[in-house]
């Protein structure tokens, strides 16, 4: 048991913070800082992953507050979706009741933790006051040509009985229940996110505050390829286009492969082909494209005509070809593509060498694998002898001249499938009328409310439950008065979360999505904190919606967040992910009850750097308790009001000044574990100091308490109250340090331009990116390679490297 009564102290300071409105968002920020953690899904009470995420954000809030920032730090709830609905089904309760009960419990836990949220800005995505604007956003996308409905093969989870977006298929399985995903043909609503492919890609170059690994993942997911679109034709004259990045291999085409989902494939009537397509669609995309799996196909019985030579080429249906990339059809060049080589060997198809290495010839009969490199075109008519790079350009120009091809940029990114055949979500605000067609609900009639869940059978059947609610589904057409019906699907919950960060600007506005003046005060987010698992889902969607609203003039910046920080997971002592099924879950509530909020925070923050995984251990908890007990025993008896003049020659004075410097640097760099280590080290100096209670001791204790507050706010408030200067330690200024008392370590920073060494700087350890960059730009050898060139990004490794990436 702690030497101080943490329960009384916590209760006292929670009440004080509420009384003085400590966490209230300033109306007119002068030095704005928008801090946001990814909001919680309402699947139960707060777990250890949440606790870590929100504690990291709280440390940043308390530090920035003491540094003089005006901060927006809101919170909300991701309240729609499958997990809530399935939990409700399992328990025989209503999804709404289940969701709002969890919100009540989780909100209570967060308030007990003392997290610095402005609760007056809380949003709940299942609240009609919120999803009214989700529906409004859908309509705006529709009006701007970015929403359409089509029949196609979609990702289908048989367990959840609903479709999934590509981003929700992880390793060929449902992101929610881990069931293998199959393909199913359905008519669905799509958002045309591909219209923003280039803007999403280009914007990454300006996100200096985002982790490089996230930007790489997004670039790969968007998947830009520059190449050629080539038009083959079937014998009956139907166009069959392919996309390739290797137009120089055009003369090596000996077959074509078409995805099972492709319209051409579905036009084949041969029974064995139809059966092959059926079997292929039962496989996940990950299985179909696996390198280990043998390539299979079925001959369609049809032929294509080579656009240059006029030769007949057999067309196969092949499961390793995906409709989600390129055109869904590929030209088979077995001599120069390993996948095509294996396919040709299996089905005894010709192999023609049309590109050879620069220094020697290739003979087809000697090939034991494809030659996939660049080289010299050969056996390619008038193009023979050209280097691959030149050949690609010349072949493309020729195809364009004869009307059989063109330069093309292709992207892997697919349009966002947003229809869901479930109850618990925002209804899609569209009306279907046989006479008037399909059109959006009038804005004045928003929100389109979900029917009461007591009137709907929301057990998953694969059919949208709203279609069986006569009161909801059947309406009169508002345009012609004929019988009509509402759209029966609900929206993907990722639509809700793609814009929630914007609603915090003006959460109670009933007349518009938010007031532009309010948005201009705070936009964009300065630091966004959450898990890296959202890199190619949520983080792409919310960038897209932000860019869309920017184009409509609602926002002043086309990116939603300047900074992004990804925290690591919390694992048990054996390195396993905590889960109820494993019985290894640690409850933050039970932890608070047993050791108090501050000790739980210290244990969490000290265990590992915030970006790394934590192995949660009882040993770490005991260490945190002992540290705070020592703080209280060593400082509490001696604190009092007054002004204290320290002995600047004393070891304690020098130690506290050095600790202020080091802790400040580490907080700025999100190295909370080492910042706490410096506090622990400093506390040892307090314990060895012989004149406890003298002016130097109290002076140092005051600074120590200011530093401690961001990590252990309750005990810091209790100790700092004895100095009696402000209502809260967090209304004080962050301490400065005496530079004369601290011998700052000097480091050598390597300066690079586009990864090449261009100079070195000797600077104080802990120098900021901005200060290093300013000095680096003054180095003559750096100026030489950066003058009149655009700075695309600046990569900074503190105390080590500054790499300026410029346009070439």
Q: What is the pLDDT of residues 40-52, one digit of tens each?
A: 988 777 888 889 9
Closest among 384, 347, 380, 376 to 360, alpha carbons compared = 376
Half-sphere exposure of 678 (CA within 13 A, CB side): 22
Cis amide leading into 229 (omega within 30): no
pLDDT band, residue 550 (cuts 50/70/90): very high
Strand partners, 793: 805
The Cα–Cα gap between 721 and 17 comes to 13
pLDDT score of 186: 84
pLDDT at 138 over 70: yes
Do the bridges between strand 32-37 and strand 527-530 make them parallel or antiparallel, or are there none, so unpaired?
parallel
pLDDT band, residue 100 (cuts 50/70/90): very high
The Cα–Cα gap between 439 and 664 comes to 56
Extract long-range pairs of 760-769: CB within 8 Å, 24+ residues apart.
Answer: 761/802, 765/665, 765/799, 766/661, 766/662, 766/665, 766/798, 766/799, 767/798, 767/799, 768/668, 769/794, 769/796, 769/798, 769/802
Higher pLDDT, residue 737 or 764: 737
Radius of gyration of the chain (CA): 31
Strand partners, 490: 420, 427
CB 686 within 8 A of CB 704: yes
Helix residue ranges, H only, 156-244: 197-203, 212-222
Dihedral sign (CA 217, 503, 166, 189): negative
Question: Which among 456-460, 506-510, 795-799 has the top mean pLDDT?
Answer: 506-510
pLDDT score of 581: 59
Number of Cβ atoms within 10 Å of the Cβ of 547: 19
CB 78 within 8 A of CB 41: yes
pLDDT score of 784: 86
Q: What is the pLDDT of residues 215-247, one digit of tens each?
A: 999 999 999 999 999 999 999 999 999 999 999
Return phi, psi of residue 123, to 5°: -125, 150
Q: Roughly how many angstroms between the first and final C-alpha of the chain, as a whole number?
A: 63
State the average pLDDT over residues 124-153.
96
The Cα–Cα gap between 701 and 694 comes to 11
User: What is the CA 586 to chain-centroid distance, rounded?
Assistant: 26
pLDDT score of 156: 84
pLDDT score of 181: 85
pLDDT band, residue 164 (cuts 50/70/90): confident
Dihedral sign (CA 322, 326, 329, 333): negative
Q: In sequence order, which residues have a C-beta less than 8 Å from that of residue 189 and are 6 or more positions away?
A: 147, 148, 149, 417, 418, 419, 428, 430, 487, 489
Domains of the chain with bracketed CATH: 135-192+415-493 (no CATH), 225-410 (3.90.740.10), 583-731 (1.10.730.10), 746-806 (3.10.20.590)
Do the bridges between strand 474-476 and strand 483-486 make them parallel or antiparallel, or are there none, so unpaired?
antiparallel
Closest among 349, 411, 392, 355 to 230, alpha carbons compared = 392
pLDDT at 379 over 70: yes
Least confident of 442-456, 577-591, 640-654: 577-591
> What is the chain's mean pLDDT, rounded?
92
pLDDT band, residue 418 (cuts 50/70/90): very high
pLDDT at 1 over 70: no
pLDDT score of 572: 80
CB 211 within 8 A of CB 219: no
pLDDT band, residue 454 (cuts 50/70/90): confident
pLDDT band, residue 466 (cuts 50/70/90): very high
pLDDT score of 570: 86
pLDDT at 582 over 80: no
State the average pLDDT over residues 516-535.
95
State the average pLDDT over residues 593-608.
94
pLDDT score of 702: 96
Closest among 103, 122, 109 to 44, alpha carbons compared = 103
311-to-108, 250, 381 alpha-carbon distances in Å: 73, 12, 14
User: What is the CA 147 to chain-centroid distance, rounded?
Assistant: 23
Half-sphere exposure of 403 (CA within 13 A, CB side): 2
Least confident of 62-66, 689-693, 769-773: 769-773
Q: What is the pLDDT of residues 704-760, one digit of tens each?
A: 999 999 999 999 999 999 998 889 999 999 999 998 888 766 788 889 998 888 988
pLDDT band, residue 691 (cuts 50/70/90): very high
pLDDT score of 744: 66
pLDDT at 96 over 90: yes
pLDDT band, residue 167 (cuts 50/70/90): low
């Amino acid at each position: 048991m702690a030497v101080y009564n943490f329960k009384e102290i916590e209760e006292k300071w929670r009440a004080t913070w509420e009384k003085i409105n400590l966490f209230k968002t300033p109306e007119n920020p002068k030095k704005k800082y928008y801090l946001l953690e990814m909001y919680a899904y309402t699947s139960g009470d707060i777990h250890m992953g949440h606790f870590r995420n929100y504690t990291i954000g709280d440390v940043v809030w308390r530090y920035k507050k003491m540094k003089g920032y005006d901060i927006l730090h809101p919170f909300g709830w991701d309240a729609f979706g499958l997990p809530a609905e399935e939990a409700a089904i399992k328990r025989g309760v209503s999804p709404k009741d289940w969701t709002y009960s969890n919100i009540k419990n989780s909100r209570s836990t967060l308030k007990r933790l003392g997290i610095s949220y402005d609760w007056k800005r809380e949003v709940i995505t299942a609240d009609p006051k919120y999803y009214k604007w989700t529906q409004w956003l859908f309509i705006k996308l529709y009006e701007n040509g970015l929403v359409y409905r089509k029949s196609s093969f979609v990702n289908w989870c048989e367990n959840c009985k609903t479709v999934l977006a590509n981003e929700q298929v992880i390793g060929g399985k449902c992101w929610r229940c881990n069931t293998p995903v199959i393909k199913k043909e359905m008519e669905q609503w799509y958002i045309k996110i591909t219209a923003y492919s280039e803007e999403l890609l280009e914007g990454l170059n300006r996100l200096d505050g985002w982790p490089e690994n996230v930007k790489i993942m997004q670039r790969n997911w968007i998947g830009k390829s520059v190449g050629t679109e080539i038009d083959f034709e079937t014998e009956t004259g139907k166009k069959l286009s392919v996309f390739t990045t290797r137009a120089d291999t055009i003369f090596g085409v000996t077959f074509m492969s078409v995805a099972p989902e492709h319209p051409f494939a579905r036009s084949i009537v041969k029974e064995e082909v139809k059966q092959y397509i059926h079997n292929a669609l039962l496989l996940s995309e990950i299985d179909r494209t696996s390198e280990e799996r043998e390539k299979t196909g079925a001959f369609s019985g049809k032929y294509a005509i080579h656009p240059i030579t006029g030769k007949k080429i057999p067309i196969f249906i092949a499961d390793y070809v995906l409709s989600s990339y390129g055109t869904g059809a590929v030209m088979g060049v077995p001599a120069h593509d390993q996948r095509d080589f294996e396919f040709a060997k299996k089905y005894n198809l010709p192999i023609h060498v049309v590109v050879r290495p620069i220094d020697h010839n290739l003979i087809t009969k000697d090939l034991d694998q494809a030659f996939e490199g660049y080289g010299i075109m050969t056996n390619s008519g008038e193009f023979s002898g050209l280097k691959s790079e030149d050949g690609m350009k010349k072949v493309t120009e020729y195809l364009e001249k004869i009307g059989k091809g063109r330069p093309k940029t292709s992207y892997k990114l697919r349009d966002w499938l947003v229809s869901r055949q479930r109850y618990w979500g925002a209804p899609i605000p569209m009306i279907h009328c046989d006479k008037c067609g399909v059109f959006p609900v009038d804005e004045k009639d928003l929100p389109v409310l979900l029917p009461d869940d007591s009137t709907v059978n929301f057990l998953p059947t694969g059919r949208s439950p709203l279609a069986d609610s006569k009161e909801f589904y059947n309406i009169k057409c508002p345009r012609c008065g004929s019988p009509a019906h509402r759209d029966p699907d609900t929206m993907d919950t990722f639509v809700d979360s793609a814009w929630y960060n914007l609603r915090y600007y003006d959460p109670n506005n009933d007349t518009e999505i938010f007031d532009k003046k309010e948005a201009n005060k705070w936009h964009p987010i300065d630091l966004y904190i959450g898990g890296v698992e959202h890199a190619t889902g949520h983080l792409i969607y919310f960038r897209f919606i932000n860019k869309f609203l920017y184009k409509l003039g609602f926002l002043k910046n086309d990116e939603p967040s300047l900074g992004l920080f990804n925290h690591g997971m919390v694992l048990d002592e054996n390195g396993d992910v905590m889960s109820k099924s494993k019985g290894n879950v640690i409850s933050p509530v039970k932890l608070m009850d047993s050791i108090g909020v501050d000790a739980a925070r210290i244990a969490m923050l000290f265990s590992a750097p915030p970006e790394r995984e934590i192995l949660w251990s009882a040993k770490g908890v005991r260490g945190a308790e002992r540290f705070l007990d020592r703080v209280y025993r060593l400082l509490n008896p001696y604190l009092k009001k007054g002004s204290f003049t320290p002995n600047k020659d004393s070891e304690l004075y020098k130690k506290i000044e050095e600790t202020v410097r080091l802790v400040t640097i580490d907080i700025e760099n999100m190295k909370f574990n080492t910042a706490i280590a410096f506090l622990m080290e400093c506390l040892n100096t307090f314990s060895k100091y012989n004149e406890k209670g003298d002016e130097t001791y109290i002076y140092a204790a005051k600074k120590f308490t200011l530093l401690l507050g961001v990590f252990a706010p309750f005990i810091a408030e209790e100790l700092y109250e004895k100095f009696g200067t402000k209502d809260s330690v967090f209304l004080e200024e962050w301490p400065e340090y005496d530079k004369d008392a601290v011998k700052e370590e000097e480091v050598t920073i390597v300066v690079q331009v586009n990864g090449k060494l261009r100079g070195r700087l000797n600077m104080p350890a802990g120098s900021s990116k901005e200060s290093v960059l300013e000095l680096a730009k003054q180095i003559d050898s750096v100026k030489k390679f950066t003058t009149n060139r655009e700075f695309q990004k600046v990569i900074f490794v503190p105390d080590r490297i500054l790499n300026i990436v410029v346009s070439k």
